[in-house]
Amino acid sequence: MSLTASKMLSLGTAAPDFNLPDTLGNMISPDNFNDAPALLVIFMCNHCPYVKHILDKLVELIKEYQGKGAAVVGINSNDVSEYPQDSPELMAELSKEKGFTFPYLFDQTQDVAKAYQAACTPDFFLFDKDRKLVYRG
């Protein structure tokens, strides 16, 4: 699906920790989802044509799986100086426009993307209740 392949974490790897701001200014970490049976971490951004192509259906599927208890978080790790359309302000606009029911986080330093070995968007990382990686794609 993506133009650039990610190296990806190995299956069974524990979810790398993060503490990032969402579009409302709240700090979000995996600990916010301790009660969820699964956590889906999606590296995404506003400008990516691949993300744009799947976004409406993705938002719909996320709502369905949140109804079953899964937690989801989107992370934008783009450099705003190179991709101004991925600024936190425009992230907030997209979140509102598309009706995101999940936090959309900004990884300004790209440290979280590096910890997950994410290199493109969208990148999906699904963790089980023990926060071990069970799917990557």
3-state SS class at 51: helix
Q: What is the CATH number of the domain that holds 91?
A: 3.40.30.10
Query: Domain for residue 82, yes or no?
Result: yes
41 within some domain: yes
Question: Within 10 A of 16 (CB to CB), how many other CB atoms are there?
Answer: 18
Token pair for residue 101?
């029911």
Burial of 130: CB neighbours in 10 Å, binned 0-12, 13-18, 19+:
exposed
For the chain, the domain total comes to 1
Question: Does residue 92 lie within any of the structural domains?
Answer: yes
Whether 60 maps to a domain, the answer reads yes
Mean pLDDT for back-to-back runs of 10 residues, the chain (137 residues): 62 96 96 97 97 98 97 96 96 98 97 93 96 92
Give the residue numbers spanning the domain of 114: 36-119
**Bridge partners for 136 per DSSP:** 125
What amino acid occupies position 50? Y
Q: Is residue 97 part of a domain?
A: yes
Domain annotation covers residue 70 = yes
Single pTM value for the model:
0.93
